[in-house]
Amino acid sequence: MPEALYQEKNTTKGITHAVIEVAHVSKSFGDRVILNDFSVSLQKGENLVVLGRSGAGKSVLIKCIIGLLRPDCGSINVLGNDVLSLSKNELDKLRQTVGFLFQSNALYDSMSVRENLEFPMRRHLVDISKDEAEERIIEALTNVGLAHTINMMPAELSGGMQKRIALARTLILKPEIILYDEPTTGLDPITGKEISTLIVEIQEKYKTSSIIISHDMKCVATTADRVAVLSDGKCYALDTYENLKQSEDKFVKQFFE
Amino acid sequence: MKIKGQSKILLEEAGAMARFTGVFFKETLRPRYEFKEFFRQCFLIGYKSLPLIALTGFIMGLVLTLQLRPTMISYGVEAKLPAMVSLSIVREIGPVISALIFAGKIGSSIGAQLGSMRVTEQIDAMDVSGTNPMKFLVVTRVLAATFMMPVLCILSDTISLYGSFLGVNIRSHMSVSLFVNQVFNILNFTDIIPSILKTFFFGFAVGIVGCYKGYNSKHGTEGVGQSANSAVVLASVLVFVIDLIAVQITDLLGYN
């Protein structure tokens, strides 16, 4: 790893402290090493894009952060909680503050848009009144510009609309951190741009901190405060988008060409 | 070498399924209980399978009666036709055929549904949103299958007997009261109770196999098809295995 490229910067956008700290994490599936002593941190209020080739382990990284996968070694600290030592209930509680946008949207296809948005609230916000729940659903849908789809089924929506609904479902619990798994993959350039803009708007409106997995360079340019380049399971480079764009490193250059 | 490899896969699969069943029981007993989803699944699994099971039950009763009639006539015991058919249906054919139809319809549907939820990350999304997918998806479906199977079997038996009554009346004449009288004269609780009890196990087998195959589905849409297919095959085999064990138990208890 070129040391010059790997710099933890705490200067962007008035960053104060880390909300996610991933330290020396390794993860293998059988003989295949996916993450190998990977370390990175997400500062409060920033958008960190994790860039890497397909199969480099980007999605594995955020699934380890949210507790869907357990790393072989290392530590993951989210909002002061050691994810690997949390009980199931504690992890559920932590997940209330961490939203996850799945690559495939993962909308429940047997449920309407309203039911999809109600679903996270049924566990985390059990005491919420019906009116308040309805208000939250409308607010989340209005944020993504799709309030009129409330009674539609996911199958009736286009890919871009499904992505927006998935984002609205992520926002329903008003998370402090959002993990985006390839938010613009499979979308046309115009819709992709809209989603990228939406990510920035959400960051500004709700002061969220986000890790965005992507190899769509337009999305990276729009959303990134910092970019971490993942290669061979390690954090190969970490810097601002502009600095990495100027990089002379052969591997990093390939992403910006 | 190949046999050794296949045996290993078989044992690993059996072990994984036993572990899955263990987790099912653990999650069934632990709160929180998903009553709303359980009743929804009861409706989907029970009510929606009813037309198919009723139709096959009716045909089974009718055909069995028509097939048995010539033989019964040749022995001069045509009058015993309702007794013969009802005993066959209630003790064996009704529960097994209903369970096989149930395995085909519900086993494949659960396998495909959970399989597609797995490959489209809906199960992960459920986990992330604080809902235990094992409890919400698996426990509710397995319990619904376990409790709906006996209900469907009783309905299927009843409709089969109606089919049998029509079968008897195609070639001869028998009043409803005589038919019912003959049926209930031959049937004892020792015929009915074991046959109903084993349907709980049939339902459980169909539910747990469908959920196990779907929940552990891999390799995209191809894997979903495989899950649905293997769920039906394994559930059908298990129905026969459970039936075999149930017959041995009733025999040992002297109910045969």
Q: Is residue B251 within 8 angstroms of chain A, CB to CB?
A: no
Q: Is residue B221 within 8 angstroms of chain A, CB to CB?
A: no
Mutate to test the interface with B, among A60, A97, A102 (most CBs of B within 10 A): A102
B73 within some domain: yes
Decide if pLDDT at A237 tops 90.
no
Q: Is residue A106 within 8 angstroms of chain B, CB to CB?
A: yes
What's the average model confidence in pLDDT over B185-194? Answer: 89
Q: Is residue B226 within 8 angstroms of chain A, CB to CB?
A: no
With an 8 Å Cβ cutoff, are A107 and B124 in contact? no
The closest CB to that of B121, out of A95, A104, A120, belongs to: A104
Decide if pLDDT at A1 tops 60.
no
* Min distance B27 CA to chain A CA atoms (Å): 13
Query: Residue B1: which pLDDT band, with cuts at 50, 70 and 90?
Result: low
Q: pLDDT tens across B140-159, in order?
A: 999 999 999 999 999 999 99
Q: Is residue B129 within 8 angstroms of chain A, CB to CB?
A: yes
Q: pLDDT tens across A184-196, in order?
A: 887 888 888 888 9
Query: Residue B18: which pLDDT band, with cuts at 50, 70 and 90?
Result: very high
Decide if pLDDT at B219 tops 80.
no
B5 within some domain: no
Cβ contacts (< 8 Å) between B120 and chain A: which residues?
104, 106, 109
B157 within some domain: yes
Distance CA A66, CA A175 (A): 13
Decide if pLDDT at A124 tops 90.
no
A-B CB pairs within 8 A amount to: 46
With an 8 Å Cβ cutoff, are A120 and B130 in contact? yes
- For chain B, the domain total comes to 1
B86 within some domain: yes
Q: Give the percent of chain A with pLDDT over 70.
A: 94
With an 8 Å Cβ cutoff, are A120 and B129 in contact? yes
Q: Give the percent of chain B with pLDDT over 90.
A: 70
Decide if pLDDT at B109 tops 80.
yes
SS3 B76: coil
Decide if pLDDT at A10 tops 80.
no
**Looking at chain A from residue 44 to 73, which residues have their Cβ under 8 Å from any Cβ of chain B?**
63, 66, 68
With an 8 Å Cβ cutoff, are A95 and B130 in contact? yes
Cβ contacts (< 8 Å) between B117 and chain A: which residues?
108
**Looking at chain B from residue 181 to 220, which residues have their Cβ under 8 Å from any Cβ of chain A?**
none
Q: Which two tokens stand for residue A154?
A: 């996911």
Q: Is residue B37 within 8 angstroms of chain A, CB to CB?
A: no
With an 8 Å Cβ cutoff, are A92 and B125 in contact? no
Buried b (16+ CB within 10 A) or exposed e, A198-229: bbeebbeeeebbbbbbbbbbebbebbbbbbbb
B11 within some domain: no
Query: In this structure, are residues A144 and A113 in contact, taking their beta carbons and an 8 Å threshold?
Result: no
So what's the pLDDT on residue A120? 85
Beta-carbon contacts of B36 under 8 Å, excluding residues fewer than 6 positions away, are: none
With an 8 Å Cβ cutoff, are B128 and A68 in contact? yes
**Higher-confidence position of B241 and A246:** B241
* Min distance B122 CA to chain A CA atoms (Å): 5
Phi and psi, residue A22, nearest 5°: -105, 120
- The DSSP H or E segment spanning B212 is helix B189-215
Q: Which domain holds residue B68?
A: 34-252
Query: Residue B106: which pLDDT band, with cuts at 50, 70 and 90?
Result: very high
Phi and psi, residue A27, nearest 5°: -150, 130
Cβ contacts (< 8 Å) between B122 and chain A: which residues?
106-109
Q: pLDDT tens across A176-220, in order?
A: 999 999 888 878 888 888 889 888 988 888 889 999 998 888 899
B120 within some domain: yes
* Min distance A182 CA to chain B CA atoms (Å): 14
Least confident of A5-9, A14-18, A51-55, A60-64: A5-9
With an 8 Å Cβ cutoff, are B125 and A102 in contact? yes
What's the average model confidence in pLDDT over B182-200? Answer: 91
With an 8 Å Cβ cutoff, are B122 and A107 in contact? yes
> What is the side-by-side strand order in the sheet with A98-101?
A98-101, A177-181, A209-213, A47-52, A226-231, A234-239
B227 within some domain: yes
Cβ contacts (< 8 Å) between B127 and chain A: which residues?
68
Mutate to test the interface with A, among B129, B218, B221 (most CBs of A within 10 A): B129
CA B179 to chain centre: 28
Q: pLDDT tens across B90-99, in order?
A: 999 999 999 9
- The DSSP H or E segment spanning B12 is helix B2-29
Give the chain A residue whose CA is nearest to the CA of B126.
A120
Q: How does the average pLDDT of chain B come out, rounded?
A: 91
What is the DSSP track for chain A? --GGGB-----GGG---EEEEEEEEEEEETTEEEEEEEEEEEETT-EEEEEE-TTSSHHHHHHHHHTSS--SEEEEEETTEEGGG--HHHHHHHHTTEEEE-TT----TTS-HHHHHHHHHHHHTTT--HHHHHHHHHHHHHHTT-GGGTT--GGGS-HHHHHHHHHHHHHTT--SEEEEESTTTTS-HHHHHHHHHHHHHHHHHH--EEEEE---HHHHHHH-SEEEEEETTEEEEEE-HHHHHT---HHHHHHH-
What's the average model confidence in pLDDT over B45-67? Answer: 93
Distance CA B168, CA B78 (A): 9
B26 within some domain: no
Decide if pLDDT at B212 tops 70.
yes
* Min distance B140 CA to chain A CA atoms (Å): 16
